[in-house]
Structure 1
Amino acid sequence: MPNSSLTYCNSTLQYRHTLYAVTYTIIFIPGLIANSIALWLLRSFISKKNKAIIFMINLAFADLSHVLSLPLRIYYYINLTWPFGKFLCLLCFYLKYLNMYASIMFLTLISVQRYVFTANPFKAKGWKRRYDVGICIALWIIVGAACLPFPIYRSSGLNNSSTSCFADLGMKQIDTRTIIILLVGAEFSGFLLPLILITYCTLKTRTQLTNDSLRCEHLKEKHKALRMVIACASVFFICFTPYHIIFFFYIMVNSNIIHSCAVHKVIMDLHPFSLCLASINCCLNPILYYFTASEFQNELARRSTSVVRVRLMSKESVSSSR
């Protein structure tokens, strides 16, 4: 990287532009279609206060905002030039991290709410939809502010005439103490705390199913809740755990806190793959909605049947008119 003093550590980073271009191209179309359909269907259940629907809608919106920025990323990694100016570069860079941490927080909220509502059904009955709306507004403000340091930190030497963006951005020089404080804060609040909460909710929901005194209808609800929290945990571990482990050492290496050449090579080679894994969440989250929410499946089947019926009727009317 531009600001790293370990210039003698020759990491083979030439492949990363191709890796990013291929990954984002593969993600774009499925992510765009799946999240658009998810938003279209989830709004039908917005009145269901005890199904985490508000959180799912916000999660789909976060994914869609990142997906819509992918064509510009694909253009850059194919052409290796950025003609769109400084602001758009930093905005797309910012949306990447906004999506990541908003997704982490909404996955955590979905897990916590499903666990709490199945463990305490009376809380679900008294819960108001406006509570979820208020939580979402507060979360967007907090996450939006917390992600601002990412584009600021990576805007070294960037101006409107620059032709570099994203992975090729320089890093601003910040004193070691500030780097450590920001890094520990980001890792704890954006990774470790959600990891603890999601793991706890998954284990506790699983434990509840071993209680033989539960009634059958409660068992059914708890099985649904378990599928949901397991799905959230799976997306979290697949997409975000590798990234945050690598990210910790990535910042330490690029800030010259770690001087080991061996560590430098390993981290620089693994970091592009961890970023690609983190982006795949845009395609995995819609799968979470489909396989864990029976209402979502039913509504998708109903809408699909309606669309097919309308098309068949229109074809029949055209045929009869002839």
Structure 2
Amino acid sequence: MKNLSGSNLPPTVGDSNPESDSVVSNDFSTTFGALILGLVFLLGVPGNFFIVWSILARIRRRSVTAILILNLAFADGFLMFLTIFFIIYLAKQTWVFGAAMCKGMFYLCNSNMYASIFLITLMSVHRLVAVVFPRKVSLIASKKIARRVIVVMWVLVMLIAIPSVVFRDVRIDKDERNKTRVVCAPNHTLPRHVRFQYALETVAGFILPYAIIITCYVLILRRLRQTKFKRRIRSEKLILAIVVMFGLFWLPYHVINMIQVAAEWYPDNSPTREMLEHISKSSRAVTSALAFISSCANPVLYTFAGKSYIKKNGLAFMAKLFEGITSDQGGNKKSRVLGKDTLDTSNIQANSSASQSGQNGI
């Protein structure tokens, strides 16, 4: 049998292979995963590209926060657009797009996964500098420096996602009813390949960045509690909601990664190994779909944070939310942090009252 690109497909994988079952081998898991991805597509694509449009078309002077949010929305929106291919894959329980698309789609998916978490981490670091070191924010967190850091980040993302190309291929598989189908699945030939890829994803794509995020917001919240800003409680709750939501959606995916890594340390035919492999195989599709939700959650949170602008500004409410700057009545421009609705920290001033603001994105 040949794939769509004309190359010979590997033969059906036997039960001795630890990855003999693909993520589409379980009917319930694939059906539930397809439903989640369908909802994510409907919310995430228009939501994130509305953010991109708001920043590009409505904001003339883009702050560092706006630039980071623009990149995050683009990465999330592009990832959400890719879900249509995975929805078809889960619904049909067979890969119909060929070997090249198999490698390419999962590479893009992994790249955007890393880009999203790295951008969220950069936002956290920038907010930390703006709140704790407001006098230095213009020097060490300027737009010029931010753009360079973002370019370096995208290069790093493209490099660190390479294993998803190396360890992914099209093969013949059999479902629960012994029916032959084509799947796009991992092609690890050695246990250490499994341990390397999934450990890299979890450490570089979750543990380290999330540790930085948590550290940043612990320091930020400690700083906020030192002030007497009357709206800081609302800001703190929104900050914590963003961080906690990201962690909850991605944690199951990385737990499954670690379960799959742990299974490789046990000998073949071990009851513990069989149990861990069963858990990872039956849960991979669902946890992957849940992870996608995090990319459509930010537009929902932004809308909630800027709800007071909707009636007044209409479609420009999102841009108004990100600008976070208003002009005073005396004609002098003054940076004012909208503690109730805005979490933009690019214009935080050196005095303590401005450093108490909340930010709607991490």
2:214 aligned partner: 199
Matched, 1:268 2:278: no
Give the number of the structure whose residues are more often helix, by fraction: 1
Q: How far does residue 257 in structure 1 lie from its aligned partner after superposition? A: 6.3
Q: How far apart are the structure 2 equivalents of 1:252 and 1:223?
A: 41
Residue of structure 2 aligned with 1:59, choices 54, 72, 79: 72
Query: How do 1:123-142 residues align onto structure 2 when only pairs under 5 Å count?
Result: 123-126=136-139, 127-142=141-156
Residue of structure 2 aligned with 1:234, choices 244, 258, 261: 244
Look up the SS of the partner of 2:187 in the other structure: coil
Matched, 1:244 2:254: yes
CA contact (8 A) 1:27 1:283 kept: yes
Look up the SS of the partner of 2:189 in the other structure: coil
Matched, 1:164 2:177: no
Look up the SS of the partner of 1:69 in the other structure: helix
Matched, 1:97 2:115: no
CA contact (8 A) 2:191 2:264 kept: no
What amino acid is the match of 1:197? I
Q: How far apart are the structure 2 equivalents of 1:182 and 1:77?
A: 23
CA contact (8 A) 2:80 2:295 kept: yes
Give the number of the structure whose residues are more often strand, by fraction: 2
What amino acid is the match of 1:273? V
Listed one character per residue, the Cα deviations across residues 212-271 of structure 1 (whole Å, up to 9, x for unaligned) are xx475xx76x76874564244123212212211211212443686684122232333333
Q: How far apart are the structure 1 equivalents of 2:122 and 2:233?
A: 18
TM-score (norm 1): 0.77
- Unaligned stretches of 5+ in structure 1? 307-322
> What is the aligned-residue identity percentage?
22
Evaluate the alpha carbon distance shift between residue 305 and residue 142 of structure 1 in structure 2; reply closer, same or farther with a 3 A threshold: closer
- Unaligned stretches of 5+ in structure 2? 1-11, 173-179, 318-362
1:77 aligned partner: 90
Q: How far apart are the structure 1 equivalents of 2:32 and 2:197?
A: 29
CA contact (8 A) 2:260 2:276 kept: no
Which range moves more in the overlay, 228-237 or 297-306? Answer: 297-306
CA contact (8 A) 1:209 1:223 kept: no
Evaluate the alpha carbon distance shift between residue 170 and residue 128 of structure 1 in structure 2; reply closer, same or farther with a 3 A threshold: closer
Q: How far apart are the structure 2 equivalents of 1:300 and 1:173?
A: 58
CA contact (8 A) 1:115 1:225 kept: no
